[in-house]
């Protein structure tokens, strides 16, 4: 399992490294414009793997542009990337990035709780072009249990998480059921309910030692 530090500003990269992150997610849709030279320097000096993400507003982010705008936002950072997060609406770009030697996270974020059948369908569609990342919003504890069960029985690799803060503990326990990444934050949260890198690392250590 990898502990990912999601950052809304590259200035927070050093904090993520010091806190013990395994990987850095650059949330390009949240980056300040323009990115100052110190931020670019932080990216260049970091030796951890980078995930590039442009999250659309429909899936919990801030991006509202076209597919062309999406690619343009990614392009300046591709030199530093190891993994690209791609929502289904942009999945036709996946082969272009794969040809560059980059891995793909195929992501789907929804403000609802899909049924077991719907979760399986979402996973299958995502796996066609990358490692599935399925993020849902549980409505109750039964939904949390259903998501844990889905994660445990899913083909690996699989990434699962939740939206919102009501059941935020699920973010920590899903890796115990097989989710291969836990998304935390450095600097300031990039999504409601996230734990900081330090908090996530301490909780995971307590649960798994």
Q: In what order do the strands lie in the sheet with 50-53?
A: 159-162, 131-136, 103-109, 83-87, 50-53, 23-27, 2-7, 181-185
For the chain, give the mean pLDDT: 97
This prediction has a pTM of 0.97
| C-alpha–C-alpha distance, residues 66 and 72, integer Å | 10
**pLDDT-derived band of residue 209, with 50, 70 and 90 as boundaries?**
confident
- Burial readout 133-148 (b: 16 or more C-beta within 10 A, e: otherwise): bbbbbbeeeebbebbb
pLDDT in tens, 54-103: 999 999 999 999 999 999 999 999 999 999 999 999 999 999 999 999 99
Q: Which residues are catalytic?
A: 109, 133
pLDDT in tens, 135-145: 999 999 999 99
What is the reported pLDDT for 16? Answer: 98
Which whole-number Å values give the CA distances from 143 to 52, 69, 121, 176, in the listed order? 29, 35, 17, 17
Instruction: Give the mean pLDDT of 23-50.
Output: 94
CATH topology of domain 2-208: TIM Barrel (3.20.20)
**pLDDT-derived band of residue 34, with 50, 70 and 90 as boundaries?**
confident
């Amino acid at each position: 399992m990898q502990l990912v530090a999601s950052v809304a500003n590259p200035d927070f990269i050093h904090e993520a490294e010091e806190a013990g992150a395994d990987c850095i997610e650059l949330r390009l849709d949240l980056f300040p414009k323009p990115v100052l030279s110190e931020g670019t320097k932080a990216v260049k000096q970091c030796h951890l793997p980078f995930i590039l993400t442009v999250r659309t507003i429909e899936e919990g982010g801030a991006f509202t542009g076209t597919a062309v705008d999406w690619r343009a936002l990614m392009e300046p950072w591709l030199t530093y990337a190891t993994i690209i997060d791609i929502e289904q609406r942009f999945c036709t770009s996946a082969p272009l990035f794969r040809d560059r030697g980059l891995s793909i996270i195929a992501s789907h974020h929804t403000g609802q709780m899909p049924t077991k059948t719907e979760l399986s369908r979402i996973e299958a569609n995502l796996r066609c072009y990358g490692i599935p990342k399925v993020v849902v919003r549980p409505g109750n504890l039964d939904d949390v249990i259903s998501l844990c069960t889905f994660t445990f029985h899913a083909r690996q690799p699989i990434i699962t998480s939740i939206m919102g803060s009501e059941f935020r503990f699920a973010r920590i326990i899903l890796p115990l059921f097989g989710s291969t990444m836990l998304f935390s934050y450095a600097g300031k949260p990039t999504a409601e309910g996230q734990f900081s890198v330090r908090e996530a690392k301490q909780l995971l250590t307590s649960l798994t030692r």
